[in-house]
Amino acid sequence: MADFSGDTLITYVVKSILIIVFLLTSVLIAIWFERKVIGRMQERPGPNVHGPFGLLQSLFDAMKLLIKEDITVKGADKFLYILAPMISVFCSLLVFAVIPLGPEVAIPFTDIVTPLQLTDFPVATLYILACASVGVYGIVLGGWSSGSTYPLLGSVRSTAQVISYELAMGLSLVSVFIMAGSMSTSQIVSSQDTMWWLFPLFPAFIIYVISMMGEVNRLPFDLPEAEGELVSGYMTEYSSMKFAWFFLAEYINMLNVSAVATTLFLGGYHAPWPISQINDGMFDQGWWGLLWFVLKMWAFMFFFVWVRGTLVRFRYDQFMIFGWKVLIPAALGWIFILTAFRGIQEFGNVDARPALFTVAAIAAVLLVITLIVDQRQAKRAAQAAPPPGTPQPQEAFDAFEHGYPVPPLPGQQLPPSPRAARRTAQAPTAQLEPQREEDGDDR
């Protein structure tokens, strides 16, 4: 583990303040970065007015939320209504306490040598999962205390989402624990001196990447917010700075899961392979580690934005089926395979790494083949489809075919309801009765 014996109380306080400043600054940059990247993807400029390249847009947005009127819903539980966003922000700020941002460095103009990490302990990774689990209480209490239907639905969705995708996330991290032999973040980084765990644990890495998007409520997993269904989900009744706290917690959580992925799978602060061999690892020491860590973390942030600008939101039943029937069984199967290889290596005195690399390579090849096949099938379907404007034949449509009611697509029609059939059957009788009365009046 990292050596913190030379740190004093002042050192810990300074590190804590610097971590908070780093996170708040990163959030402002992330908001601008997301708008710019999505604007580029959609062929529009994005923020370009306030400051050079629109860099001050995020700052002005934060000032706007700060001075807006703070409205409290009359029917809300005021204590929990105010406490909920505080819980979310506080728990999101705790994660970076155990993230190693770099190796031991010498502080300029002083004789202090300290790791670029606030603290560490043998179960630091479990501490990260615990912070993420407690943070969801802010979302649940925010939705429930608002006293409104849409926030309540959003908070219930968030509870189901966290239970589903934290299981898959935790199982994917077990693979790293098995290979590294520790749950300490600094020891996990040290175990990747020669090889990043991304390569032998590629299936676990894919499961983690999918789970982390579900964990932070980002598209295509933003069911707790779902503007098209729930207005804004659990944040519907919040305004001003209380809304900004939820917004801040979401972006800090994006940074958190990106930092965890960097630490556990991408070697942490270690330089990439060709650069790490230059001048006996000169670029893999000291303050260079902070640069590599930040670059890797922002690569994941770009991935978040890329996915948001590319994919659409899942339907809720698809979302739950994917978590419980795909991710969790896949994670359990991979742990079983990895444990078998690890046992052979430890107790059979056999180097199982080639076989493990082979399994990971086969999984990667199967994933690529699946993507290619799906792309070709979609291309064939697009070629076989009639040109736009062609009238589509009407076909019967069963809304409950897959167990979840869905509206019909263009060209489909719902089958007639039994009530409509009864009305049609009774229509001739209803038309004859007035005629008989009129005949009786004539007589």
pLDDT digits (tens, 9 = 90+) for 357-375: 777 778 778 878 887 887 7
Measure the CA–CA gap between 122 and 124, rounded to whole angstroms.
Answer: 6
pLDDT at 391: 56
Q: Running DSSP on this structure, what letter comes out for residue 191?
A: T
Secondary structure of residue 142 in the 3-state scheme:
helix
d(CA 46, CA 39): 5
Percent of the chain residues past pLDDT 90, beyond the cut: 9
- Residue 130 confidence (pLDDT) above 70: yes
Q: CB-side exposure of 411: number of CA atoms within 13 Å?
A: 8
Torsion of CA 42, 226, 250, 161, to 10 degrees: -130
Across the range 93-97, mean pLDDT stands at 90
Chain-centroid distance of CA 436 in Å reads 69
Q: Which amino acid would we find at residue 321? A: I
Our measurement of the distance from residue 408's CA atom to the centroid of its chain's CA atoms, rounded to an integer in Å, reads 30
Q: Residue 441 pLDDT more than 60?
A: no
Q: What is the pLDDT of residue 396?
A: 62
DSSP label at residue 197: T
pLDDT of residue 20: 92
- Which pLDDT belongs to residue 440? 46
Residues with Cβ within 8 Å of residue 140, at least 6 apart in sequence:
155, 158, 159, 234
pLDDT tens-digit series, residues 154-186: 888 888 887 888 888 888 999 899 888 888 888
Helix (H) or strand (E) holding 427: helix 418-442
Q: What average pLDDT does range 234-241 have in this prediction?
A: 82
Helix axes 240-265, 202-215, angle to 10 degrees: 180
CA-based max dimension of the chain: 118
pLDDT band at 390 (very low <50, low <70, confident <90, very high): low
391 compared with 272, residue with greater pLDDT: 272
Q: Is the pLDDT of residue 347 over 80?
A: no
Question: CA-to-CA distance for 99 and 150, rounded, in angstroms?
Answer: 36
Does 56 reside within a domain?
Answer: no
DSSP-assigned letters across all residues of 89-133? HHHHHHGGGG---EEEEEPTTS--EEEESS---TTHHHHHHHHHH
pLDDT for the residue 437: 47
- Structural domain that includes position 325: 68-99+120-269+278-379
**pLDDT of 51:** 80
Q: What burial class does residue 344 get, using C-beta atoms within 10 Å of its C-beta: 0-12 exposed, 13-18 middle, 19+ buried?
A: middle
Asked if the model's pLDDT at residue 54 lies above 80, the reply is yes
| Mean pLDDT within 396-403 | 67
| Greater model confidence, 404 or 106 | 106
Number of domains in the chain: 1
Burial (CB count <10 Å: 0-12, 13-18, 19+), residue 294 = middle
Q: How long is the chain?
A: 443
Residue at 435 is within a domain: no
Residue 6 in any domain: the answer is: no
Return the higher-pLDDT residue of 354 and 196: 196
147-to-138, 368, 436 alpha-carbon distances in Å: 15, 47, 57
Backbone dihedral angles phi then psi of residue 437, each to the nearest 5 degrees: -65, -40
What is the pTM assigned to this prediction? 0.78
For 241-274, how does the pLDDT look when each residue is reduced to its tens digit (9 = 90+)? 888 888 888 889 999 999 999 999 988 888 887 7
Classify residue 396: in a domain, yes or no. no
In a domain, 251, yes or no: yes
Average pLDDT taken over every residue of the chain? 81
Which of 283, 288, 290, 293 is CA-nearest to residue 263? Answer: 293
305 part of a folded domain = yes
Q: Is residue 355 part of a domain?
A: yes
283 found inside a domain: yes
Cα distance between the two ends of the chain: 107
Q: Tell me which of 82-91, 175-184, 230-239, 244-253 is least confident.
A: 230-239
All residues at 6 or more sequence positions from 167 whose CB lies less than 8 Å from its CB, including other chains: 323, 328
User: Mean pLDDT, to the nearest integer, of 280-287?
Assistant: 74
Torsion of CA 310, 312, 313, 319, to 10 degrees: -80
Read off the DSSP letter of residue 403: S
The lowest-confidence range among 113-117, 287-291, 348-352 is 348-352
What CA–CA distance (Å, rounded) separates 115 from 90?
Answer: 24
CB 128 within 8 A of CB 291: no
Which of 128-142, 274-288, 396-410 has maximum average pLDDT?
A: 128-142
